[in-house]
């Protein structure tokens, strides 16, 4: 799916938590050699990478009000809300 979005020149945004998870996964599967090629290919297609204190404060409110959400999901949702993004 990501390949198609990149080739369609879709506007892509993310937050630092997503990029951290990608790095974590490459390290966990001992594929550090794939980090640079992956980041150049996909991360170069990103328009923006968001993450700030306002989003973290909103994430706190979200997890306190919605016990079924993880902290990670709450951060993503807060960043999306902050920037008017309504789909993943």
Task: Please write the tens of the pLDDT for every residue from 16-39.
Answer: 677 777 777 877 888 878 877 766
Decide if pLDDT at 47 tops 60.
no
Q: Taking all residues of the chain, what is their mean pLDDT, rounded to a whole number?
A: 78
Element (H, E) at 74: helix 71-82
Per-domain residue ranges for the chain? 1-50, 52-88
Where does the pLDDT of residue 48 fall: very low under 50, low under 70, confident under 90, or very high at 90 and above? low
What pLDDT sits at residue 12?
76
Short-list 1, 10, 20, CA closest to 75: 20
What pLDDT sits at residue 27?
76
Residue bearing the bigger pLDDT, 84 or 37: 84
């Amino acid at each position: 799916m990501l390949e198609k979005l990149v080739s369609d020149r879709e506007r892509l945004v993310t937050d630092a938590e997503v990029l951290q998870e990608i790095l974590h996964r490459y390290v966990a599967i001992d594929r550090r050699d794939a980090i640079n090629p992956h980041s150049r290919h996909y991360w170069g297609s990103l328009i923006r990478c968001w993450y700030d204190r306002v989003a973290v404060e909103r994430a706190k409110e979200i997890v306190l009000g919605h016990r079924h959400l993880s902290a990670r999901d709450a951060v993503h949702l807060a960043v999306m809300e902050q920037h008017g993004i309504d789909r993943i």
